[in-house]
Structure 1
């Protein structure tokens, strides 16, 4: 199992989507979240969009491998049963999660490989966040404050991949996962 984490707007979702498309032998976990869907996001593909009550029920029934409140607003988490099924089937599992979730997974699955996805630079990260235009100014400020703290966690990880180009970052990540990169 490989855990991919990094700051907001670093491109975790973009790198994961590239791997999903080009490396079908990899199994990517789909997180549950209480945040509303963004334009173009599909239920069960990008996230499982659930209500706060549904999320509470999953937590109460110990159905979450990890979960966290992200940016002080919405909750995200990984369903334990889906991960267990993929591992049992011998799949290369990739969890794309936030820093809090990665820390929880390290507690329960320390044998996993933890990869930090880093931006090429702070100005590039700021540009990506603002450029996507999916958050209000207040939300952008909150996410950038969180990103500064998340960047400081890089030394906690087994490997660092810089997301300067999606294809290159994905290739490096699949090598870490033990898959054969494609041209």
Structure 2
């Protein structure tokens, strides 16, 4: 199979909690050898089953502040009333893109905005929608086991997040995980074939044109 050198793709998946973006990312990672997951940094404590560098890169607050000062993060945010910080390290993403490997991001709409500002030519984004709000609620109940008031809060957040679908390149409705994953796979494969991304294309075409 002929392979033309290319720059990698930042595939951003965003969705309200429970819509299935993580499951879609997992399905793609299991079948796309050129795709890797972006591993975030965080200031929260490591849980017993977590491995540094595999689940997260765990940083102290001072280390996180140094990363911000050095412009070493592509996007970041604080959660839980500002207690813990999360972010995407720049260096491994840029290494992957330069090597022709693709990186999938499971981030919210705010992270997508920051990432597109930093790497505007490399981001291809997909917003994942549930088929309806009843299904979304059922998934949240089944997954989290939270009380009714917490589910209601998550649903309010979900409605706010859904309003940001217009900021994304593509939208996929996740009624069936297999079909949703295949739709996102088509987006990824199309992005890989963008002429602007095929860095080896001029040389390939030149040798085709030789007498």
Q: In which range does the TM-score fall when normalised by the shorter chain?
A: 0.7 to 0.9
Segment of structure 1 superposing worse, 86-95 or 28-37:
28-37
Deviations 1:65-112 (A, max 9, x none): 011234645433211111001001111222221111001112222222
Structure 2 counterpart SS, 1:178: helix
Which residue of 125, 150, 165 corresponds with 1:154?
A: 165
Aligned counterparts, 1:59-98, within 5 A: 59-70=68-79, 72=81, 74-98=84-108
Distance 2:124 2:72 in 1: 22
**Structure 2, unpaired ranges of 5+:** 1-9, 191-211
Q: Which residue of 2 aligns with 1:6?
A: 15
Point out the more displaced range, 97-106 or 74-83. Answer: 74-83
Q: Structure 2 CA distance, aligned partners of 1:141 and 1:55?
A: 33
Q: 1:9 to 1:81 in 2, by over 3 A?
A: same
TM-score by length of 1: 0.81
- Report the equivalent of 2:202: none
Mind listing any 5+ residue stretches in structure 1 that lack a counterpart? none
In the alignment, the residues of structure 1 paired with residue 47 and residue 75 of structure 2 have an alpha-carbon distance, to the nearest angstrom, of 23
Q: CA deviation at 1:126?
A: 1.8
Distance of 1:51 and 1:164 partners within structure 2: 40
Aligned equivalents of 1:3, 1:159: Cα separation in 2: 10
How many angstroms apart in 1 are the aligned matches of 2:25 and 2:44?
Answer: 19
Match runs of 1:1-183 below 5 Å: 1-35=10-44, 43-70=52-79, 72=81, 74-111=84-121, 112-133=123-144, 140-178=151-189
Shift of 1:48: 3.3
Q: Calculate the aligned-residue CA RMSD, in Å.
A: 2.7
Q: How many residues align?
A: 179
CA contact (8 A) 1:32 1:76 kept: yes
CA distance 1:80–1:8, change in 2 (3 Å): same
CA contact (8 A) 1:71 1:143 kept: no
CA contact (8 A) 1:71 1:146 kept: no
Higher Cα Rg, which structure: 2
